[in-house]
């Protein structure tokens, strides 16, 4: 029985390592946490994110809901079926639901600046990397 349990741990570790190895890295992205508070088992984190021209967030998901406002530029947002689910210009607001794999890209020539409120389970990471789901872009 211990051998079976050990084999399960090894296989789980290999599966996680394979997922991490296939993750798509972000590029041209910086972020600054403006504030963070915890209430009722949830972290509320306000963060400013900048994507330089040609930048990408890489494929990822969040364990909670995000509320975003575009302060500058135009963000192209794709779902895991490769479709564009939004092109958000300066002044636009949008929501990202939990556990939905997506990517944000700056296809323009000016930086995209986002103000984002993360509502996450306490101590959850800001995002979790995901592999490219088969799209011909990062």
**What are the sequence ranges of the domains in the chain?**
26-129
- Of 108, 80, 81, 75, the residue nearest 94 (C-alpha): 75
53-69 mean pLDDT: 98
pLDDT number for residue 33: 98
Average pLDDT (66-76) is 98
Residue 23's pLDDT band, with cuts at 50, 70 and 90, is confident
- For residue 64, the model assigns a pLDDT of 98
The closest alpha carbon to 63, from 94, 31, 100, belongs to: 100
Q: What pLDDT score does 131 carry?
A: 96
Cα–Cα dist 18/89, whole Å: 36
Mean model confidence pLDDT for the chain:
88
Whether 138 has a pLDDT exceeding 90, the answer reads no
State residue 24's pLDDT score.
Answer: 85
- Backbone angles phi and psi of 97, in degrees to 5: -75, 160
* CATH code for residues 26-129: 2.60.120.10
Provide the CB-side half-sphere exposure for 84 (13 A, CA): 9
pTM here is 0.82
């Amino acid at each position: 029985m211990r051998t079976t349990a050990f084999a399960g741990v090894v296989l789980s570790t290999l599966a996680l390592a394979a997922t991490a190895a296939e993750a798509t890295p972000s590029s041209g992205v910086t972020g600054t946490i403006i504030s963070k508070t915890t209430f009722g088992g949830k972290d509320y984190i306000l963060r400013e994110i900048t994507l330089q021209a040609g930048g990408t967030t890489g494929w990822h998901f969040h364990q909670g809901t995000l509320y975003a406002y575009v302060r500058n530029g135009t963000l192209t947002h794709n779902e895991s079926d490769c479709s564009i689910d939004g092109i958000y210009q300066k002044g636009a607001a949008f929501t990202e639901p939990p556990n939905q794999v997506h990517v944000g890209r700056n296809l323009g020539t000016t930086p995209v600046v986002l103000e984002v409120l993360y509502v996450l389970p306490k101590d959850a990471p800001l995002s979790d990397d995901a592999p490219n789901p088969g799209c011909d872009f990062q």
